[in-house]
Structure 1
Amino acid sequence: MTTEEELVAAKNRVKERLFAIPGVMFVGVGGKEVDGVLTREPAVKVLVREKLPASALPAAELIPSDVEGVPTDVVAIGGVVPLTSEQPPGMLNPALWDQSSERARDLKGGYCIGVENAGGLGTLGCVLKDQVDEWKVYALTCQHVITHDGKFNPVPLVSKVGQPTGSDGICCSDIFGVYETGALSSEKDEASDRDEGLLRIHPGRTWKPAIRGIGEITGVHTITPFEASVENYQVRKVGARTGKTGGTVTGLFDTPQRAENLLLVKPNPHPAQHAYDTLHFAYQGDSGSAMVNDLGTTDPDGKPVVEVVGLIYAIAASSLPFLTFVLPIQKVIERFFAHEGLLLTVATIRNSHPVNTVPKPPPGSLDPLAGAPADGVPAALGHLAGLQQDLEGSPAGRLLHALWRDHREELAGLVRHNRRVTVAWHRGGGPGLVQLLIRLPRQAGLALPETLAGRPVDECVDQLHREIREHAGPALKTALDRAHSALPRLAGLTYPQLIDALARA
């Protein structure tokens, strides 16, 4: 039998050539399907816009029947359709929407949500906690739910988000927070693989680490290529439109931009298998749902295992029943850190109480939801002054401080206006690294991560140094080289350890 390593290696060696074929959208690994039935035979899977007979294709565009002895499986999907929904009159009619779309007294996953005056509806997936600023609590959904498929431009920390109450047909009569941040890879690119949106929950609102109709979340799980290929991995979700449904993971796919960044799910074929099986795993209005595993197992303390594995965002345009596209949850969390500098974790019953209340921001936090107290600016400047003083205490620290002090305009210009540097900066997790370095002095025990944007943090720093240096002027090149040579290995260091490492460099 083909091992997981052999399967992934075969896919990696052929995917560049496959992506060059017109109509190929995603390449990955999964269970081979025969006459629409998912088997446990591992295959290199290719998702195409349209499946054509071999006689209609030139030889260069033929997908081979196998890759190094591993069979291939070609699946036509037509295209990718986001799952936001319009707000029609009578949108809460039980015939159109799941009957549990009413207001959640305690926020949790599975409820209908929308942005005020935006025009679209989706689903609250789960609650996320900020590991640095512990008073910040977020609701996770899809970015296209917030933008209503690009028709609305939300304003961070201003645009209001809420739930329909079920009483007056107004989308957001129960306001629970504001839009914080989010991203789509490209609103014009069907093969885009970023679609995560973050909603900041107001202080004083109660919430639960749970999904309605399923129960308390016990953890997070990353589905492996093996699980996606030969285990017929069972999953479920609760969406605002279709309620609770079950399905099976059919593959784990690479996009042209990123590796292992997409799961594909089909509805369970036998309705009698689960009481919540329906014709479709997800439909319009279910975008933002958190997909969890369906293992039928319990933890040692007796709690049923409910682990978040992904964020539901789209369906295949031409498949019946519809195949559903899902973003792996760990990838979503990593991107919020790499691009927005947010160190987040899924709220579970292991790191939260059964019922929680969002706390008020502490005095001097400069938090917009706290009204930006007058003493906040001096406090923030004090942190920066302390950082400067600590850096000036060692030769290596002085080199780092001088790099920014003397060359910040050129550095900022390269990041903003040089395309290659901009791409390297974001792919290498530059924004997240800077935000975390600013937060380190203020948060006792906070440590730099081992990885950034899925790569070792020190490898990211080395790559950023090389890319910026290539386009820098002579003085900046010299300053970059001197600072880089004095920089210790960063992975896992707390702020005191970082200052100590600089002193010993």
Structure 2
Amino acid sequence: MRDEEYFAIKERAARRFMKIPHVTAVGIGSKEKDGKPTGEIVIKVYVSKKKPAREVPADELIPPEFEGLPTDVVEMGELKPDAPIPGVPDPGSTSTLTDSSRERPLKGGIQISTESKGGAYGTLGCFLVDKNDSTAVYALTNHHVIAKDGKMSLSRRVEQPNSNTFTTADSIGLVAGGGDDSTRDAAIVRLAPQMQWLAEIKGIGVVKGMHTITVAEAGTGTYQVKKRGARTQLTGGTISSIMTSVGGVSNGIIITANPDPANPGTLMFFSAPGDSGSVYLNNNDEVVGLHFSGWHSAPLSSNYGKSGGMPIADVLRRFREVERIDLEVATAASLNSTQTVAYPAGAPNMAGADIETDSDHGYYRPLTGGSQILAAPMLGHMNTTTLGCMVKVTTEPDAAYALTCYRGVSANGTIPPTAETKIGQPDNEESCSGCCTNTFGKFSKGSANADRNAAIVKMDDGMKWLAEVLQIGYIKGIHTVTPAEVSSGTYQVRKRGAQSRLTGGVITAVGGVHGTLPAGVNANAMLIRPNPNPSRPGDDISFSHFGDRGAVVVNEDDKVVGLLYDEIEIPSGSSGRILYGVATPIQIVIDQFNSVDSVQITVATATQVDDVQTASNSSMVAVADNAGSTVFRPQPQASPVIFLPTREAAPVGVGAYARLKQDLSLSGTGRMIAAVWKKHQEEISHLIETNRRVATVWHRSGGPAILQALVRVFYTPSARVPQQINGEPLSDCIDRSNSIFNKYGSESLRRDLTLLKQALPDIAGMTYREILKLFEENAGVPELVKQA
């Protein structure tokens, strides 16, 4: 039987057996007898406590076989994340083993911590390299290691080792992406330029590649793996099962800790809190999985402690699908082969299709620099630009403004903005009720001419914002580039734009300061040559693209030096085209607002990450904290987080929102859905924001992906609701989300969700019109409609 056939049977078994109380996981592995593997491939059903058959209700008994495959019942409690942990060791735990040493060069298996997490830590698993850009080197760990309160920030630094107070000297890079869903609990940290690293695991040696464990290998019951975690250091175990439905994931690897020959019968653990983020390696020193959880309670029988992870191939696939980064495990031929991270390269050429799929169309609240914005009445990604950074006006101490380029908010000068022109992030969609708006403010001042191209947007009252730039961090001030810095030819800068994201380059000329400017740029312009990409020699390379205009140019000290407004090709004699970034020095930008618009502005700064501020305009009415949330997603978070993947559609807009309400009102089922959402929207959003267990199950069950799919079918007549989400039937994903809200929700929410589940038909595979027709045909809608 092929592995895919085994996995399909396991999925069907999981859908049946996971509904039984006390079943904690279902996977494929070897049968165990007297605690030892027999080598027979079985469906492994894990239970919190194994009981004699006579004590188990008939409807909860696990049959001896399922679809021709034998079953094997094994005792294992609920898997729980292994990080973060408190900075103070737990008495009687393995905390005395914790390795908090500082490692330079960096290597896998060492302790890391995230800025602003207060001493909690996890493990750096191994290193990954972008196949298309060797200047981008990433440390792999878990999402729950780097997330704060379940939320991920692309402005947050990571340190090694952990300290209760973040130390800049120990910073190794910034969070660059990740997620927590049904196939991964993973995150990547982009290492800082000039950081040295080794493709090794501490205490194990060089990493020699990656491997996907087969059913045949798992079925032996003797397939050995090892890991090196910051808490329990080097441990070994055997694969108990693969493709296991456990802890919200559907592809779990379950590992049983090896016994201690010197102390037979002693309980052994493969991992403990603090080991999350470590990687599993086989006997060939190939990475096979990413660790994320363990069972730490004493067992109810003499089995050994078990831990859980996910296949490395699935982790890398999700980074390719969501973050659009094609990664591979970094390897080495020999020990002590130190490598040094290069400065960020420029971006490749981006065609129309690339702009749609690879640009960052994410929704960020609080507002953050480096994100996509769009001015009304323009539509579509081709008309978007970038929010550079936040600025303050000296005469309005409580107000806040966003700095960008003028041509980016004026359709390249063809639609001049007025004081009533609304600007949105990531676009300008809004509903007639105001509950579903992306608009964050209105155009205030700015213009474009031979010497200038800048604009500021005044934020709406109550809008939350950060003095940060995505993938760069919090802004520490401004800097005027000197003749000596330009003439050195090595003055490194970065920008984060919505289109080509993070790129790096060198300032080669500044008008009136040093160097020669080409024709066609402003006399005061700053030219930035993109850094080369060793992975793609001879290809076209750019510091920026048109959708990046409005981004700020930042030096290595995290100080703003310029405002990007254009790009220009300068012949170089190489085989590929080189597009330089064109920016205005930041001090000139500030001076022009003073001289032209009589407005004194300063660049907003911060002294720590996640310093959320709120715009306050005395002439306006205060707005509730949930302003800016949409009908199809949670309320804005306390740190920058992408609620919708970059491939997702925009939220329902003003005309569309009214049409949706009208369409739902035509059937009892539709009215019930609208009533449940109206009644419980605030509670559901609050649960997702504040309850980690709810948020984890919601994301792992594909909640955001389901909502995205519904938005897409609403906008696109030919689109259909997917049959599966992350490889699982849509109905199973909905059931899991429903169960977690039932567990933690109010009595009223539980009651209404139960009624809604009874009334809601299966819509998998249907178009929007087919769904509405099915709703109209659906009889017997519960009483909730009459109460709404």
Shift of 1:217: 0.7
| In structure 2, distance between residues paired with 1:378 and 1:71 | 59
| In structure 2, distance between residues paired with 1:368 and 1:317 | 36
* Aligned with residue 381 of structure 1, among 519, 522, 546: 546
Once the two structures are superposed, residues 388-442 of structure 1 have per-residue CA deviations (whole angstroms, 9 ceiling, x without a partner) of xxxxxxxxxxxxxxxxxxxxxx9533699999996369799x9xxxxxxxxxxxx
Shift of 1:145: 1.4
1:248 alignment partner, SS class:
strand
TM-score, normalising length: structure 1? 0.66
Q: What does residue 124 of structure 1 align with?
A: 124
* Aligned with residue 198 of structure 2, among 208, 225, 228: 208
| In structure 1, distance between residues paired with 2:156 and 2:547 | 31
Instruction: Say if 2:105 is the partner of 1:106.
Output: yes
2:134 alignment partner, SS class:
coil
Contact 2:10 2:27 in 1 (8 A): yes
Instruction: Say if 2:243 is the partner of 1:253.
Output: yes
| In structure 1, distance between residues paired with 2:87 and 2:202 | 24
Q: What does residue 233 of structure 2 align with?
A: 243
* Aligned with residue 218 of structure 1, among 201, 208, 224: 208
Unaligned runs of 5+ in 2: 349-369, 371-469, 473-492, 496-504, 506-525, 529-541, 550-565, 568-647, 661-672, 674-701, 713-724, 729-762, 771-788
Instruction: Say if 2:412 is the partner of 1:423.
Output: no
| In structure 1, distance between residues paired with 2:88 and 2:260 | 34
Unaligned runs of 5+ in 1: 186-191, 295-304, 387-409, 431-451, 456-465, 474-505
Instruction: Say if 2:273 is the partner of 1:280.
Output: no
Larger Rg: 2
**Would you say how many aligned residue pairs link Structure 1 and Structure 2?**
391
Once the two structures are superposed, residues 264-322 of structure 1 have per-residue CA deviations (whole angstroms, 9 ceiling, x without a partner) of 1111124369xxx992211111111111002xxxxxxxxxx310001111112544632
Matched residue type, 2:268: L
Contact 1:164 1:170 in 2 (8 A): no
Q: What does residue 180 of structure 2 align with?
A: 184
Contact 2:206 2:335 in 1 (8 A): no
Shift of 1:52: 4.3
Instruction: Say if 2:367 is the partner of 1:371.
Output: no
Q: Please list, as runs of the form range in 1=range in 2, the aligned pairs for 1:29-428 lying within 5 A after superposition.
A: 29-89=28-88, 96-98=95-97, 100-119=99-118, 120-147=120-147, 150=149, 153-156=151-154, 158-164=155-161, 174-185=170-181, 193-255=183-245, 261-271=251-261, 279-294=268-283, 305-318=284-297, 319=299, 321-349=304-332, 354-362=337-345, 368-369=471-472, 370-372=493-495, 379-381=544-546, 411-413=649-651, 423=705
More displaced 10-residue stretch of structure 1: 232-241 or 34-43 = 34-43
Matched residue type, 1:284: P
| In structure 1, distance between residues paired with 2:180 and 2:219 | 28
Contact 2:37 2:220 in 1 (8 A): no
| In structure 1, distance between residues paired with 2:547 and 2:67 | 61
Shift of 1:98: 3.7
Contact 1:77 1:317 in 2 (8 A): no
| In structure 1, distance between residues paired with 2:134 and 2:31 | 45
Sort the Cα spacing of 1:182 and 1:266 in 2 relative to 1 into closer, same or farther, 3 A.
Answer: same
Shift of 1:126: 0.4
Shift of 1:243: 1.2
Once the two structures are superposed, residues 151-201 of structure 1 have per-residue CA deviations (whole angstroms, 9 ceiling, x without a partner) of x64421x21111127xx875656111112222223xxxxxx6531111111
| In structure 1, distance between residues paired with 2:767 and 2:6 | 37
Shift of 1:45: 0.6
| In structure 1, distance between residues paired with 2:341 and 2:53 | 58
Sort the Cα spacing of 1:42 and 1:131 in 2 relative to 1 into closer, same or farther, 3 A.
Answer: same
Sort the Cα spacing of 1:355 and 1:46 in 2 relative to 1 into closer, same or farther, 3 A.
Answer: same
Sort the Cα spacing of 1:353 and 1:175 in 2 relative to 1 into closer, same or farther, 3 A.
Answer: same
Shift of 1:38: 2.7
TM-score, normalising length: structure 2? 0.44
Sort the Cα spacing of 1:426 and 1:76 in 2 relative to 1 into closer, same or farther, 3 A.
Answer: farther
Instruction: Say if 2:26 is the partner of 1:27.
Output: yes
Higher helix share: 1
Matched residue type, 2:545: A
Sort the Cα spacing of 1:83 and 1:382 in 2 relative to 1 into closer, same or farther, 3 A.
Answer: closer
2:651 alignment partner, SS class:
helix
Sort the Cα spacing of 1:344 and 1:81 in 2 relative to 1 into closer, same or farther, 3 A.
Answer: same
2:135 alignment partner, SS class:
coil
Matched residue type, 2:127: V
Contact 2:269 2:296 in 1 (8 A): no
| In structure 2, distance between residues paired with 1:231 and 1:67 | 20
